[in-house]
Structure 1
Amino acid sequence: MKKVAVFGHDLKFISYITDYLTDSFDYQIKIDQWDGHDRHDETKSLELLEWADILFCEWGLGNVIWCQKHKKSNQRLIVRLHRFEMNTRFPALFDYKKIDQLIAISPYIYEEFHRVAKVPREKMKVIFNAVDTQRFAKDKVEDSKFNIGLIGYVPKLKRLDRAIDIFEKLYELDPRYKLYIKGKRPEEVDWVWKRASQREHYKDAFERIQQSKFKEHIFIEGWGDVSEWLKNVGYVLSVSDYESFHLAPIEGMASGAFPVVLQREGVRCVFQEKYIFENIEQAVTFISSKNNKDESELASYVEERFSLQKICEKMDELLRNA
């Protein structure tokens, strides 16, 4: 049985994978939960490092720098990359003699880390994010086709303003439309709330909502069970300036909600062309048109490409051969 220690500060994208690997494959997995990009309990980290066969870093941040420093010759170091890391100082400090494998969560991220951070292609492998499709297979509520969802609206690059733009235009067409927003509030994210440009973005957005005639049709709530929340949602927006993968609309597809994706770099690596739109007007037209939409294909698309079982089989192959 291989022993895997997972080091990282934000484990929401990896937790389903580690649980599945523990339950379905021959692994013992322990978690070293960090407090930030490079803040952790070093005593605990050293204990797990001594125990592990494989050191697995979720996100390529200070956890990688620490692990490559302390890694033993008989251990393997694997790093899973998203996108955020490219805007930090850490990739420039990677020691590729110590790092055995890097996982990019999409082909776009694979190429971007090579182009921007000079990560060697031969060290990288693409394994998509995983979706627990069974968790989202729940019946929709009546009239969910009039409910638009945005999952995660922090930081500013998630473009809450665009979500409001789309909803406002839909509301003018039909007042049955509602906008549901789910996620951490900006003041709950320390680095966001410290930046004036970020605070101003949310101040403007919230004031716009409060002063609008449709404010009673916008619902904002914190994190919780997204699979339950999606029962009420017929469309999930992906309107960010950039994303590495964007799990939220993929989870929406697994629930039977249509993705509505604005054009950005790398988006065609994940989403079908018919759900990608050049501008807000095209997105509104797609949502408001009730014709030629078959939600039955949505879950099967996710199952074939991103299901937890298939992604974990690929992860198992990588770990077994590490």
Structure 2
Amino acid sequence: MKLSIVVPCYNAETKIGPCIESLEKISLPAESFEVLFVDDFSTDGTLALLENRSKSHPNWRVEALAANSGSPSRPRNVGTSKAEGEYVFFLDCDDEILPDALGRQLELAATEDSDIVRASLYTVERGKQPQLLNRVRNFKYTDSRTDKIAKIVRDQSTTNSSLIRRSLLLDNGIIWPEHLHMGEDTVFLNNVLSAAINISYLDEPAIVYHKTIGFIRSATQQYGARELASHLEVWESAELTLSQAGLSYMAIRGHVALRVALESIYRFNRGDIDAGLFSKLSRLVHSNWESLGERTFRPRIRETLEIINAGDYELFQQNIKQRLLIAGMDLKFISPAIPSLREHYDVRLDEWTGHDAHDETQSRDHLEWADVIFCEWLLGNAVWYANHKKAHQQLIVRMHRFELNARFGHEVDQSKVDCFISVSLHTSEDMIRTFGMDRTKVRIIPNYLDVKNYKSTDDPAKTTRLAMVGMLPKLKGYHRALELLSYLNVHGDFSLTVFGKGPLDLPWVYKNPVERAYYESCAQYIVDHNLSEKVTFSGWVDTKEALADFGFVLSLSDLESFHVAPAEGFAAGNQGVFLPWHGVDYVYPEDYIFEDIFGIRDYILNNQDLEVFKKNAELGRRFVSERYSLESFVSLVQEVLEEV
């Protein structure tokens, strides 16, 4: 038995397929290698899947742990103890082995009597082309052992791509450190390199490393006190281990390790790094400042390192907040959330003056500052930032329905956008279809309300008052609102208040012959049906205050992406009523959706008793409180920022 491939698995049912398929394609005689899957007490169907697939392969085995260990280290150690091969290779269950890689590594190991053979790898990130990484520069068979170790530590991450003589691990008691939450691969590799006599490198990729991020956060998608404490222990261990070979880990690799850690802190920081832990970090940086100070860092990283070196904990806490740049015109839909977002992020605004108009000098300054760019609207702002973003920055674009009829969705470089956010399911499907978006990049985050701050009232007269927030353009259905009002007034004394701008306030509406004719017909309808005393135009108001007095908020549009106004009505203890515009049933409860205005009329008439009205309004109030609160919106934005 030449080789044992150890594959630790945990809840991998939906992602292990490519790994299994790659193992089936290995170009080695089956009798010369074995595959050991070690299941870490999965709670999904992983174990059953592995056992079923292994039946077709006599050289595949499955070991199942009796309890979950919390990291891949224990499964790897169990795999080593059960292995029978002369060499062992560790493969993660969401990665792939290349067909000829292990055969080539075994050939080199036989030629050079290797204790360890390192190789390069391909990394694949969602939506991007594969990259060849971990190549070691100028590695020579004739190099000294110390030079070989230094070159591997300098040029390679510690991602698994090592063929290791199993007896080296057993004879030297080298195991994966099971107590560490991060960086266990660094400790393990350095221990192997320190014990190895013959160290080899094959300048060919061995694995495909899938750098994918999903909704279930992995160990690399979180970073706080626990992870930093693990890294500090790892770096101290690496420094001690490599010192036995006359090398300094911090001098060779410390700048990379610190950069990666700081980028994780910016992105995933839980706010639990206390002064004591910061002090340990500061001492480490300060003691290695001579070598770190000579390294080239991007300005954001250098700024943080200088603060750490100076030992300023308070400034550090402020500095590590992720820098969120919100860019776009007409920020009315995102502005109410900015104070809440500032509790978690350092926020700046780049306010554009038009769909494609901005101060480019100012935008470039903001770009240099930002970690994450959040484009409100898929307009020229998204196109510009996609063309100018840096490799380390994430770009998120929040879309509304308006953009479907604009050119910018066709112009934006979608490969540079990490995530598109849509306010509703039906709008996301329309965007995907219209602009050919990769649906794996699309997330749905509904619009939101600061639900707790809406005023309500028990005035019995409110059941006769209708409100319409926004009457422009004609697809908003203003004429239908007038018809509804007329039908209601056959049975009682009802009124309609229209909030927002009128057709004369927006030249693009009034100069459009079709729009102008529509609103002229609406004005004539008011006259013809004696509604002049029943219709009031109030301009823009604070809807958190004003909607308390209106029992029914109308949504009579031809098209909407979400329509916030009825949700505001619910938040105020009142009711939204809807015609069946496309997608409304995905956004609001069916209890308030009607086939036509006659159905709405009858419903309103049946809700004139205040107690009946309040009972029927409760479902809507509870619905928007649970689904469309400001707190929920901010939480979902945080999830997306961490995911991308």
Q: TM-score if structure 1 supplies the norm length?
A: 0.95
- Asked whether the 8 Å contact 2:562–2:587 carries over to 1, the reply is yes
Tell me the equivalent position of 2:521.
Answer: 204
Q: Which residue of 1 aligns with 2:583?
A: 266
- Given residue 314 of structure 1, which amino acid in structure 2 is its aligned partner? L
Name the aligned partner's letter for residue 341 of structure 2: L
1: CA distance, partners of 2:350 / 2:458: 37
Shift of 1:232: 1.2
**What do residues 261-299 of structure 1 show as CA deviations (whole Å, max 9, x unaligned)?**
001211111111111111111110111113754223322
Contact persistence 1:140–1:233 (CA under 8 A): no
Question: Given the alignment, which residue of 621, 624, 628 partners 1:302?
Answer: 624
Runs (4+) off by over 4 Å = none
Structural mapping, 1:272-287, within 5 Å: 272-287=589-604
Where does residue 98 of structure 1 map in the other structure? 416
Structure 1 residue 94, shift from structure 2 partner: 2.1
| 1:1-322 correspondence runs (5 A) | 1-22=321-342, 24-25=343-344, 27-174=345-492, 176-290=493-607, 293=613, 294=615, 295-322=617-644
The alignment partner of 2:536 has SS state of: strand
C-alpha distance in structure 2 between counterparts of 1:180 and 1:8, whole Å: 31
- Residue 215 of structure 1 aligns to which amino acid in structure 2? S
Contact 1:104 1:126 in 2 (8 A): yes
Residue identity opposite 1:103 in structure 2: I
Counterpart of 1:277 in 2: which secondary structure?
coil
Distance in 2 (CA, whole Å) between partners of 1:206 and 1:266 is 30
Distance in 2, Cα, partners of 1:190 & 1:318: 38
Distance 1:266 1:100, change over 3 A: same
Letter in 1 for 2:534: H
Distance 1:98 1:305, change over 3 A: same
**Alignment check: 8 A CA contact 2:471 2:498 kept:** yes
Q: Output one character per residue of 1:186-210: Cα deviation in whole Å (capped at 9) or x when no partner.
A: 2323432331111221122123224
Paired residues of 1:171 and 1:214 also in contact (CA < 8 A): no
- Structure 2 unaligned blocks of 5 or more: 1-320
Query: Deviation at 1:211?
Result: 4.6
TM-superposed deviation, 1:30? 1.2
- Return the alpha-carbon distance in structure 2 between the equivalents of residues 10 and 122 of structure 1: 28
Task: Write the distance in 2 (CA, Å) between the matches of 1:243 and 1:177.
Answer: 26
Question: 1:140 Cα shift?
Answer: 4.3
Task: Report Cα offsets for 1:189-241 as digits up to 9, x if no partner.
Answer: 34323311112211221232245422111111111211221121000100000
For 2:545 and 2:523, locate their aligned partners in 1 and report how far apart those are by CA, in whole Å: 25
1:57, distance to aligned residue in structure 2 (A):
0.7
**Larger displacement relative to structure 2 (132-141 or 75-84):** 132-141
Q: What is the distance in 1 between the residues matched to 2:385 and 2:503?
A: 31
Q: CA offsets, 1:24-65, max 9 Å, x none?
A: 32x011111111111112222122112111111111011111
**Contact preservation (8 Å) 2:466, 2:550:** yes
Q: Which has the higher contact order (CA 8 A, sep 6+)?
A: 1
Following TM superposition, by how much is the alpha carbon of 1:108 offset from its aligned partner in structure 2, in angstroms?
1.0
Aligned residues: 319
Structure 2 counterpart of 1:89, one-letter code:
R
Q: What secondary structure does 1:35 align onto?
A: coil
Separation (CA, whole Å) in 2 of partners of 1:273 and 1:207: 34
SS of residue paired to 1:304 = helix
* Alpha carbons of structure 1 residues 42 and 128: separation in structure 2 relative to 1, 3 Å: same
Q: Residue 86 of structure 2 aligns with which residue? A: none
SS for the counterpart of 2:561 is coil
Output the amino acid matched with 1:280: I
Q: Percent identity?
A: 37
SS across alignment from 1:153: coil
Does the CA contact (< 8 Å) of 2:456 and 2:549 recur in 1?
no
Q: Gaps (5+ residues) in structure 1?
A: none
Deviations 1:161-201 (A, max 9, x none): 01101111001111x21111101122323432331111221
Report deviation, 1:312.
0.8
Offset, 1:155: 1.1
Letter aligned with residue 159 of structure 1:
G
Letter in 1 for 2:424: S
Q: Which residue of 1 aligns with 2:64?
A: none
Relative to structure 2, which stretch is displaced further, 204-213 or 247-256? 204-213
TM-score by length of 2: 0.48
